[in-house]
Structure formats: C-alpha cells, structure tokens
Structure 1
Amino acid sequence: MKAVFNGTTIAEAPQSELVKIEGNWYFPPASVKPGFLVESATPYTCPWKGECQYYSLKDGDTLLQDRAWSYPTPYPASFDRVGQDYSGYVAFWKEISVTE
C-alpha cells in the first residue's frame, strides 16, 4: 500500500505489514520516507492508545500542520485490542491518499 501526497509516495509497504485502527491505516516506521514528516508540538492523549505524536507534512517550503500521527509508546493493553504491537507506526490525515 502507498501513502501519496501531491503525486509523491511518502510511505509504502505491503498491506500485510500495515495495521488498521479505527479506519486508519498505520504504516511501519521504516516504510515512511525520510524528509517528509516534521515532529509537531500538538499534544493529544488517546484514552485507550496513549500519548500521540503528531507530525506536520513538509511540502516543499510549506509545512502542513498535523497531517500524520503515531503512538511511539502506546499503552500495552491496547495491543490486545489492535491485535499487535503498533509502536511508532504512522497514520495519515485524509488529504494523503492511502491506496493499494
């Protein structure tokens, strides 16, 4: 599967390596191409997944705020609900097309 923004693939991995949580595809950290994501200071803690890390998407000289997110150290109890460890996996906002 691919995460594509403005015609550029920013993440790519076989579907078997992705995790689907609440309708969002989460890509393994190694599948995200370097240079596109910049850590954001936006705080959020999910009641069942834990502390979230948002990322802004670098599009040329523009930063698009909070277009991706990850759970670097999710609550261990959430692994049972999700079915696996998804630490550091990255999901993308709807502007980024995720396709096969």
Structure 2
Amino acid sequence: MPVAKWNGTVLAKSDTYETVEGNVYFPPDSLSREHFKPSPTHSTCPWKGEASYYSVEVDGQTNADAAWYYPEPKPAASNIKGYVAFWKGVTVER
C-alpha cells in the first residue's frame, strides 16, 4: 500500500492509486486534508492538461507546491482526475 510522508507525517495512504510517468497518484479521499493548503500555482502538461498545486504543512513547516493534481485532465489522463501526486522531498513508499 503506497504511503506519502513528509517530516514523518503521513499525508496520503491508499490501496487504490494510479501510477503515471513513475509518479503515484493518490485518490482525493486518501489525503490527510488538514495538511493541505491550496496554492495559486499552475502548470501545463501537453497530454494531461493543467495541473493545480497544494502546499503541504506539517508542524508549522510549509513545503510549497509539494503536491499536484489535475482537476480537469485531458481525456488521455482521465484516470487521474482529482488524484494527487507528490515531489519536493515528500517520500512515497510502496
């Protein structure tokens, strides 16, 4: 079961997930929502569409834009709609 952690805190954990381009995407209901803050950052992938970001907060520390998701992905990436992936020091253990 994949688990995403930062600073020793579990951010997401689920038996249900998608793997795209080597990244584990967690379903929205698997997140520990108290650690996620919306970010104004966006980026664009040519085949997935526009990504939105969350900053992660644990014990008063913030990891800006450490999580991303596709709220309205292009059809080729419809399987990850709303699912969240991580980077910037967040570890994902399988």
Both proteins in one fold, TM over 0.5: yes
Aligned runs of 1:5-84 on 2, under 5 Å?
5-14=6-15, 17-79=16-78
- Whose radius of gyration is greater, 1 or 2? 1
- Whether 2:83 is the aligned partner of 1:89: answer yes
Tell me if the contact between 2:9 and 2:58 (Cα under 8 Å) persists in the aligned partners.
no
State the partner residue of 2:3. Answer: 2
- Where 2:66 maps in the other structure, the secondary structure is strand
Count of aligned residue pairs for this structure pair: 93
Q: Structure 1 residue 7: deviation in Å?
A: 1.2
CA RMSD, 1 decimal: 1.3
User: Which blocks of at least 5 consecutive residues in structure 1 are unaligned?
Assistant: 80-84
Which one is further off, 27-36 or 70-79? 70-79
Q: Structure 1 residue 46: deviation in Å?
A: 1.1
Q: Could you tell me the TM-score, scaled by structure 2's length?
A: 0.90
Query: Hey, what's the Cα distance between the residues in 2 that align with 1:94 and 1:23?
Result: 15
Tell me if the contact between 2:41 and 2:65 (Cα under 8 Å) persists in the aligned partners.
yes
Higher strand share: 2
- Where 2:24 maps in the other structure, the secondary structure is strand
Deviations 1:14-54 (A, max 9, x none): 1xx11111111000110011111111111211111111111
Tell me if the contact between 2:63 and 2:88 (Cα under 8 Å) persists in the aligned partners.
no
**Distance of aligned partners of 1:62 and 1:6 in 2 relative to their CA distance in 1, 3 Å threshold:** closer
